Amino acid sequence: MDYSATISTTASPERAAQAITNYLEQWWSTRIERRTDGFTTRFNNSHATFHFEPGASPLSFEWKCTDAHMIIEDVEDAAEWVGTRLLWQITPTETGCKIQLTHEGLGPTLPCFEACQRGWQHFFETSLRDHLNSNTGAPNTT
Domains and CATH numbers, the chain: 3-134 (3.30.530.20)
pLDDT digits (tens, 9 = 90+) for 29-74: 999 999 999 999 999 899 999 999 988 899 999 999 999 999 998 8
Helix (H) / strand (E) element for 68: namely strand 60-69
CA distances from 128 to 21, 37, 104, 110 (A): 11, 22, 19, 25
Question: Is the pLDDT assigned to residue 9 strictly greater than 90?
Answer: yes
Cross-strand partners of 29: 140
Per-residue model confidence (pLDDT) at position 74: 86
Counting Cβ atoms within 10 Å, is residue 91 exposed (0-12), middle (13-18) or buried (19+)?
middle
The predicted pLDDT at position 83 comes to: 97
As a whole number, mean pLDDT of residues 83-110 equals: 97
| pLDDT score, position 135 | 84
pLDDT at position 121 over 90: yes
